[in-house]
């Protein structure tokens, strides 16, 4: 009987030891995962903060280009262009097709997010929505840029050509430009596409700010 009790006690101690080891391992893995979650959220704040800088830079760039194109378009009401006017108009033509979207990898965190690296379901959905929005904006703005490139080739280049002896000097007939509805419409479209791109970027800007604020609240809870 003593042997049986002794054997049962040994089995009990072994089982308890195993259970304690499993519990410690689970606790350790849980602690590691929580640290990984915090590290990931810190990374998101850095990522979205960087996005804000790039977004604001792009908004400023698009705004400046539109002001230049508006200045060039206003010159078309003149009967004669001064050297300063010609320089402004040359810059207008050079800037006309510029509309490049933000280049951002929105899929690099997919695996971690799908594996629960973000504890809050609402935050997770917002991050995924932000990535989806960013991807959509990039796709649309890329198409805008491609359209402007085609307009430049089809409706700008036939009327405004580079001087062979100077890459900065353009050859054109002011009268023909004034009479060309397609040329004037192309300038308006260039401004319009860029204005729409700015609206997209401002929307993305607000969402990035909101995400940073929510993530900081998550840290405050802990």
Per-domain boundaries in the chain: 47-221
DSSP state, residue 107: S
Question: Does residue 45 have a pLDDT over 90?
Answer: yes
d(C-alpha 117, C-alpha 44), whole Å: 11
Sign of the Cα pseudo-torsion (33, 36, 38, 40, in order): negative
Name 171's bridge partners: 161
Rounded to two decimals, what is the model's pTM? 0.83
d(C-alpha 49, C-alpha 51), whole Å: 5
Question: Does residue 136 have a pLDDT over 70?
Answer: yes
Rg for the chain (alpha carbons), in Å?
A: 30
More confident call, 111 vs 66: 66
Burial of 14: CB neighbours in 10 Å, binned 0-12, 13-18, 19+: exposed
Residue 85's pLDDT band, with cuts at 50, 70 and 90, is very high
Which pair of tokens denotes residue 46? 């850095």
Cβ atoms within 10 A of the Cβ of 116, count? 11
Q: What digits encode the pLDDT tens for the residues 3-36?
A: 666 665 666 556 666 666 566 665 665 677 678 8
Residue 149's pLDDT band, with cuts at 50, 70 and 90, is very high
Could you tell me how many residues make up the chain? 222
Question: Does residue 184 have a pLDDT over 80?
Answer: yes
Cα-flanking dihedrals φ and ψ of residue 170, to 5°?
A: -110, 150
d(C-alpha 210, C-alpha 122), whole Å: 13
């Amino acid at each position: 009987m003593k042997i049986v009790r002794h054997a049962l006690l040994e089995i009990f101690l072994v089982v308890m030891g195993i259970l304690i080891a499993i519990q410690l391992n689970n606790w350790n893995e849980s602690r590691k995962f929580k640290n990984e979650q915090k590290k990931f959220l810190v990374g998101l704040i850095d990522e979205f903060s960087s996005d804000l800088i790039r977004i604001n830079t792009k908004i400023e760039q698009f705004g400046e280009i539109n002001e230049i194109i508006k200045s060039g378009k206003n010159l078309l009401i003149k009967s004669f262009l001064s050297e300063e006017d010609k320089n402004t108009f040359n810059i207008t033509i050079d800037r006309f097709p510029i509309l490049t979207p933000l280049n951002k990898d929105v899929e690099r965190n997919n695996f971690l997010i799908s594996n629960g690296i973000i504890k809050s379901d609402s935050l997770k959905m917002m991050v995924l929505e932000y990535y989806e929005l960013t991807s959509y904006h990039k796709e649309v703005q890329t198409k805008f840029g491609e359209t402007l490139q085609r307009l430049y080739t089809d409706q700008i280049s036939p009327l405004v050509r580079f001087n062979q002896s100077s890459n900065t000097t353009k050859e054109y007939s002011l009268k023909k430009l004034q009479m060309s509805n397609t040329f004037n419409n192309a300038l308006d479209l260039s401004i319009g596409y860029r204005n729409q791109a700015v609206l997209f970027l401002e929307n993305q800007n607000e969402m990035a700010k909101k995400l940073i604020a929510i993530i900081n609240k998550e840290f405050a809870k802990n």
